[in-house]
Chains A and B, each alone.
Chain A
Amino acid sequence: MARTTVASDLATLTRHSMAGLRMLLAFTLVTGLAYPLAMTAVGQVAFPWQANGSLVQSDGAHTTSRSDAVGSALIAQGFTGEEYFHPRPSAAGDGYDTLASGGSNLGPLNPDLVASIEERKAAVAEENGVAPADVPADAVTASSSGLDPHISPAYAAIQVTRVAQARGLSDADVERLVAEHTAGRDLGVLGEPRVNVLELNLALDVAD
Chain B
Amino acid sequence: MIPVNTAVLMAMAQILVLVAALAAVHVPLGAYLARTYSSPNHLRVERLWYRAVRVDPDAEQRWTTYLMSLLGFSLVSVLFLYGLERLQGYLPWNLGFTGFDPAGAWNSAVSFTTNTNWQWYSGEAAAGHLLQMAGFAVQNFVSASVGMAVAIALVRGFARSGTDARIGNFWSDLTRGVVRVLLPLSVVAAIVLMAAGAIQNLDPHTAISTVEGATQHVLGGPIASQEAIKDLGTNGGGFFNANSSHPFENPTPFTNIVEIFLLLVIPFTLPRAFGILVGDKRQGWAILGVMAGLWAASLALTTWAELAGPGAAPQAAGAAMEGKESRFGLAASALFAVSTTATSTGSVNSMHDSFTAPGGGMLLFNILLGEVAPGGVGAGLYGMLMLAVVAVFVAGLMVGRTPEYLGKKIGRPEMTIVALYVLTVPALVLVGTAVAVVVEPGLSGIQDPGPHGLSEVLYAFASAANNNGSAFAGLATGTPFYEVAQGLAMLAGRFVPIALVLALAGRLASQTTVPATSGTLPTHRPLFAGLLAAVTIVVVGLTFIPILSLGPVVESLS
Q: Which of B136-144, B262-270, B410-418, B524-532 contacts A (4 or more CB under 8 A)?
A: B136-144
The total of interchain contacts (Cβ-Cβ below 8 angstroms) comes to 390
**Contact between chains at B194 and A103 (CB < 8 Å):** no
- A78 surroundings in chain B (CB, below 8 A): 210, 212, 214
Interface string of B435-459 (1 = CB under 8 A from A): 0000000000001111010010000
Q: Does A159 contact B (CB under 8 A)?
A: no
Interface string of A12-36 (1 = CB under 8 A from B): 1111111111111011101111011
- A71 surroundings in chain B (CB, below 8 A): 208, 210-211, 216
**Contact between chains at B326 and A35 (CB < 8 Å):** no
**Contact between chains at A109 and B190 (CB < 8 Å):** no
Residue from A15, A67, A98, A192 in contact with B329 in the complex, judged by beta carbons closer than 8 Å: A192
Residue from B17, B248, B326 in contact with A194 in the complex, judged by beta carbons closer than 8 Å: B326
Residue from A98, A100, A108, A154 in contact with B313 in the complex, judged by beta carbons closer than 8 Å: A108
**Contact between chains at A28 and B134 (CB < 8 Å):** yes
Residue from A13, A74, A109, A188 in contact with B197 in the complex, judged by beta carbons closer than 8 Å: A74
- B194 surroundings in chain A (CB, below 8 A): 39, 42-43, 46-47, 50-51
Cα-based distance from A88 to B519 in the complex (angstroms): 64
Interface string of B137-159 (1 = CB under 8 A from A): 11001100000000000000000
**Contact between chains at A99 and B217 (CB < 8 Å):** yes
Q: How far is the CB of B280 from chain A (nearest CB, A)?
A: 34
Residue from A75, A136, A152 in contact with B247 in the complex, judged by beta carbons closer than 8 Å: A75
- B248 surroundings in chain A (CB, below 8 A): 53, 74-75
Interface string of A165-177 (1 = CB under 8 A from B): 0000000000000
- A54 surroundings in chain B (CB, below 8 A): 197, 199, 251
Cα-based distance from A148 to B251 in the complex (angstroms): 10
Q: Does B393 contact A (CB under 8 A)?
A: no
Chain A residue nearest in CB terms to B358: A108
Q: Does B114 contact A (CB under 8 A)?
A: no
Q: How far is the CB of B223 from chain A (nearest CB, A)?
A: 9
Cα-based distance from A114 to B449 in the complex (angstroms): 14
Q: Which of B315-323, B367-375, B399-407, B479-487 contacts A (4 or more CB under 8 A)?
A: B315-323
**Contact between chains at A50 and B452 (CB < 8 Å):** no
**Contact between chains at B133 and A52 (CB < 8 Å):** no
- A149 surroundings in chain B (CB, below 8 A): 247
- B333 surroundings in chain A (CB, below 8 A): 144
**Contact between chains at B472 and A36 (CB < 8 Å):** no
Q: Does B461 contact A (CB under 8 A)?
A: no
**Contact between chains at A108 and B356 (CB < 8 Å):** yes
Q: Which of B102-110, B252-260, B495-503, B507-515 contacts A (4 or more CB under 8 A)?
A: B252-260
- 8 Å CB contacts to A: which residues of B309-337? 310-314, 316-329, 332-333
Q: Does B90 contact A (CB under 8 A)?
A: no
Q: How far is the CB of A56 from chain B (nearest CB, A)?
A: 10
Q: How far is the CB of A1 from chain B (nearest CB, A)?
A: 18
With A21-B76, A152-B326 as given contacts, are A39 and B447 in contact (CB-CB < 8 Å)?
A: no
Residue from A17, A66, A100, A109 in contact with B76 in the complex, judged by beta carbons closer than 8 Å: A17
Q: Does B355 contact A (CB under 8 A)?
A: yes
With A32-B138, A36-B137 as given contacts, are A52 and B203 in contact (CB-CB < 8 Å)?
A: yes
**Contact between chains at B68 and A50 (CB < 8 Å):** no
- B196 surroundings in chain A (CB, below 8 A): 50
- A37 surroundings in chain B (CB, below 8 A): 222
**Contact between chains at B245 and A107 (CB < 8 Å):** no
Q: Which of B46-54, B338-346, B378-386 contacts A (4 or more CB under 8 A)?
A: B46-54
Most buried by A among B74, B80, B201, B220: B201
- A144 surroundings in chain B (CB, below 8 A): 242, 245, 323-325, 333, 348-351
With A17-B76, A39-B191 as given contacts, are A191 and B218 in contact (CB-CB < 8 Å)?
A: no
Interface string of A65-79 (1 = CB under 8 A from B): 011011110110111
**Contact between chains at A191 and B256 (CB < 8 Å):** yes
Cα-based distance from A24 to B69 in the complex (angstroms): 12
Q: Does A198 contact B (CB under 8 A)?
A: yes
Q: How far is the CB of B440 from chain A (nearest CB, A)?
A: 22
Interface string of B227-263 (1 = CB under 8 A from A): 0010000000000111001111001111011000000
Q: Does B10 contact A (CB under 8 A)?
A: yes
- 8 Å CB contacts to B: which residues of A36-64? 36-40, 42-44, 46-47, 50-55, 58
Cα-based distance from A56 to B198 in the complex (angstroms): 15
Q: Does B354 contact A (CB under 8 A)?
A: yes
**Contact between chains at A107 and B452 (CB < 8 Å):** yes
Q: Does B301 contact A (CB under 8 A)?
A: no
**Contact between chains at A24 and B77 (CB < 8 Å):** yes
**Contact between chains at A109 and B135 (CB < 8 Å):** no
Cα-based distance from A202 to B212 in the complex (angstroms): 11
Chain A residue nearest in CB terms to B209: A70
Q: How far is the CB of B103 from chain A (nearest CB, A)?
A: 22
- B450 surroundings in chain A (CB, below 8 A): 109
**Contact between chains at B210 and A70 (CB < 8 Å):** yes
- B175 surroundings in chain A (CB, below 8 A): 23
- A100 surroundings in chain B (CB, below 8 A): 122, 124-125, 241
- B202 surroundings in chain A (CB, below 8 A): 40
Residue from A70, A107, A191 in contact with B354 in the complex, judged by beta carbons closer than 8 Å: A107
- A52 surroundings in chain B (CB, below 8 A): 199, 201, 203
With A190-B256, A192-B329 as given contacts, are A42 and B447 in contact (CB-CB < 8 Å)?
A: no
- B473 surroundings in chain A (CB, below 8 A): 102-103, 105
Q: How far is the CB of B250 from chain A (nearest CB, A)?
A: 9
Chain B residue nearest in CB terms to A135: B318
- B14 surroundings in chain A (CB, below 8 A): 189-191
Q: Does A125 contact B (CB under 8 A)?
A: no
24 A–B pairs (Cβ distance < 8 Å), ordered by A: A19-B73, A19-B171, A23-B53, A39-B222, A52-B199, A53-B219, A66-B208, A71-B216, A74-B248, A88-B326, A98-B219, A99-B125, A100-B241, A101-B241, A102-B241, A105-B353, A108-B354, A108-B355, A108-B555, A118-B316, A137-B317, A137-B321, A141-B324, A186-B257
B residues near A, CB below 8 A? 1, 10, 13-14, 17, 49, 52-55, 68-69, 71-77, 80, 122, 124-125, 133-135, 137-138, 141-142, 171, 174-175, 178, 183, 186-187, 190-191, 194-203, 205-206, 208-212, 214, 216-220, 222, 224-226, 229, 240-242, 245-248, 251-254, 256-257, 310-314, 316-329, 332-333, 348-351, 353-357, 360, 447-450, 452, 455, 472-474, 555, 558
A residues near B, CB below 8 A? 12-24, 26-28, 30-33, 35-40, 42-44, 46-47, 50-55, 58, 66-67, 69-72, 74-75, 77-81, 84, 88, 92, 96-111, 113-114, 117-118, 121, 135-138, 140-152, 154, 185-192, 194, 198, 201-202, 205
Q: A17-B72, A23-B175, A114-B316 are in contact. List 4 more A-B contacts (CB 8 A).
A: A31-B141, A35-B186, A106-B474, A108-B320
Considering the complex of A and B, which 7 residue pairs feature the smallest CB-CB distances, nearest first?
A: A191-B253, A16-B72, A108-B311, A20-B73, A192-B329, A43-B200, A144-B245
